[in-house]
Structure 1
Amino acid sequence: MKMNAIFLYRVAHLLHLYKIPVLPLVIKYLIFLIFNSVVPYSCKIGPGSKFAYGAIGVVLHSRCKIGKRVIIGQGVTIGRQLDPEGVPEIGDNVYISAGARVLGGIQVGDNVIIGANAVVVKDVPSNSIVAGVPAKVIKSVDVDIYQLLKNVY
């Protein structure tokens, strides 16, 4: 197993679940120092999910929920808007391209591609590709997105 941001997050998250003090915070700061990313141990990231390019510049809200088999590109922000309660939930089989922003109390469905530098502030239906500022559905898909994104997963 490689020493990367998702591995360090998983260790910190496990320690957090077992209520072991201090160590999760140390690992969070280690992720920040090495990868220039904020990946809180309290967020939930599903199995099989990973960061592209070593998670450079990724910022995740401490309460965000990320499903299974999600790839998060570099420079991605998943966080809230001005509403303190609104935190994104990302479904399964999602590819979040470089520089995308997913903001507010929204839900991103399953089998979704979010285009590079998109700003997602509204719910995204399953089986779709979104892009733009603000992000809009530009295409619906009827196959697994990882078939479209060859050699990515």
Structure 2
Amino acid sequence: MLFVDEIKSALRYDPACRWWEVWLYHGLWAVWTHKLLHLLYICRAPIIPRLGSQIMRALTGIEIHPGAKIGRGVFIDHGSGVIIGETAEVGDNCLIYHGVTLGGTSTKRVKRHPTVGANTIIGCGAKIIGNIHIGHNCKIGANAIVLKDVPDNSTVVGMAARVILQNGEKVDNDWGTLPDPVEDTIVHLIHRIVTLEEKLKKFESK
């Protein structure tokens, strides 16, 4: 039911929230307004959906394209700086903190924004970019940059984000295999030297 699911999420996710204070949470109003604008959008109503989303952006600091699909019980806490693109999908009972971007990577009219599974928490400042899938029950760390699919029940952190927990178990990361820009540069220079030496030998043999 409209209002009820989002209010329950606000009370569950925010220990500072009291039942009467939920009406002051601009993240809730942004989601509620979006649901109405989304209905108008899929009915191809002219102007109003986009205009309404821009008005809500000015009032709340939260920009949700009217084409985005937002599930039940989604709670945007604090909210300022949140951007959710046109083809993004957010599952039920997700928690989104301020500064989060669900952005696109294509200029074509295709599915270009992420799909976020149910019961996922996205930390402040996280950037989830492109047509990727974030599984159910995931936790995205603050300021993480996510460019690849994330499996269910995972915790990811970092730039670009890496999985550190999956199904409650720690995921081993082989740090020895991480790219080393200095090593890559040295290898490239050695290759260039070898190539130049071969060319020099050919030139001298003429």
TM-score, length-scaled by structure 2:
0.64
Cα deviation 1:6-42 (Å, max 9, x = unaligned)? 1111121122233333321221111111122321111
User: What is the match of residue 97 of structure 2?
Assistant: 73
User: What is the deviation of 1:141?
Assistant: 3.8
1:139 aligned residue: 165
Written as runs of structure 1 = structure 2, the 5 A alignment for 1:42-121 is: 42-53=67-78, 55-82=79-106, 84=108, 85=110, 86-121=112-147
Instruction: Report the more deviating stretch, 101-110 or 74-83.
Output: 74-83
Structure 1 gap ranges (5+): 143-153
Q: Residue type of the partner of 1:102? A: I
Distance in 1 between residues matched to 2:67 and 2:104, nearest whole Å: 15
Is the partner of 1:20 in helix, strand or coil? Answer: coil
SS of residue matched to 1:6? helix
Aligned length: 141
CA deviation map 1:50-98 (0-9, x unaligned): 2111x21111111111111111110000012357443211111100010
Considering only aligned residues, what root-mean-square deviation do their CA atoms show, in Å? 1.7
Look up the SS of the partner of 1:15 in the other structure: helix
Cα distance, 1:105 vs structure 2: 1.7
Q: 1:77 is aligned with what amino acid?
A: T
Matched residue SS, 1:41: coil
1:16 to 36, 41, 51: 41
- Partner of 2:64, secondary structure, is coil
Distance in 2 between residues matched to 1:20 and 1:75, nearest whole Å: 29
Match of 1:34 among 51, 56, 59: 59
Give the whole-Å Cα distance in 1 for the aligned partners of 2:101 and 2:114: 10
SS in 2 for 1:122: coil
Return the index of the structure with the highest Cα Rg.
2
Which ranges of 4 or more aligned residues in structure 1 deviate by more than 4 Å? 82-85
- Using the alignment, how far apart are the partners of 1:83 and 1:114 within structure 2? 26
Q: Between Structure 1 and Structure 2, which shows a larger proportion of helix residues? A: 2
Identical positions, percent: 32
More relative contact order, 1 or 2 (CA 8 Å, 6+ apart): 1
Bigger share in strand: 1
Counterparts of 1:141 and 1:49 in 2: how far apart (Å)?
23
Residue 200 (structure 2) aligns with: none
